[in-house]
A = this chain, B = another copy of it.
Amino acid sequence: MTSAASLVRLPMYQQLNALLRELLDSGAYPGDQQFLTERQIVERFGVSRPTANKALAALVGEGRLDVRKGIGTFVRGRRLDYDIRSLVSFTRKAEQAGRRPSTKVIEFEPQPAEEAGPGVTAALSLSAAEPVYAMVRLRLADNEPVILERRWVPVRLCRGLTRKDLKGSIYSLWVEKYRLPITEADQVIRAVNLSKNDAHLLGVRGGAAGFLVSATGYSRGAALWYEQTLYRGDSYEFHHHRPAAGRLRQLPASGTYA
Contact = CB atoms under 8 A, between A and B. Distances in A.
A37 interface: no
B91 A184 contact: no
A183 B244 contact: yes
Given A193-B209, A256-B168, A257-B92, A188 B85 contact: no
A156 to B, nearest CB: 21
Contacts of A139: 258
Chain A interface mostly helix, strand, loop or mixed?
mixed
B185 A242 contact: yes
- Name the residue among A62, A171, A245 with the largest chain B CB count within 10 angstroms: A62
- Name the residue among A14, A58, A184, A250 with the largest chain B CB count within 10 angstroms: A58
Interface in A201-250: 206-211, 231, 233, 236-245, 247-248, 250
Nearest to A172: B257
26 contacts: A10-B196, A14-B206, A17-B206, A57-B58, A85-B247, A88-B250, A89-B258, A92-B257, A168-B256, A171-B251, A175-B248, A184-B243, A184-B244, A186-B240, A186-B241, A187-B242, A188-B238, A188-B240, A189-B239, A189-B240, A190-B237, A191-B236, A192-B233, A193-B193, A193-B233, A207-B207
A248 B196 contact: no
Contacts of A241: 184-187
A244 B87 contact: yes
B190 A258 contact: no
B209 A191 contact: yes
B189 A237 contact: yes
A103 interface: yes
B191 A191 contact: yes
A68 to B, nearest CB: 12
A136 interface: no
Contact of A87 (B69, B167, B176, B248): B248
A231 B190 CA distance: 10
A77 to B, nearest CB: 14
Contacts of A182: 244, 248
Contacts of A186: 239-242
Interface in A1-17: 10-11, 14, 17
A71 to B, nearest CB: 14
- Name the residue among A50, A54, A258 with the largest chain B CB count within 10 angstroms: A258
B209 A69 contact: no
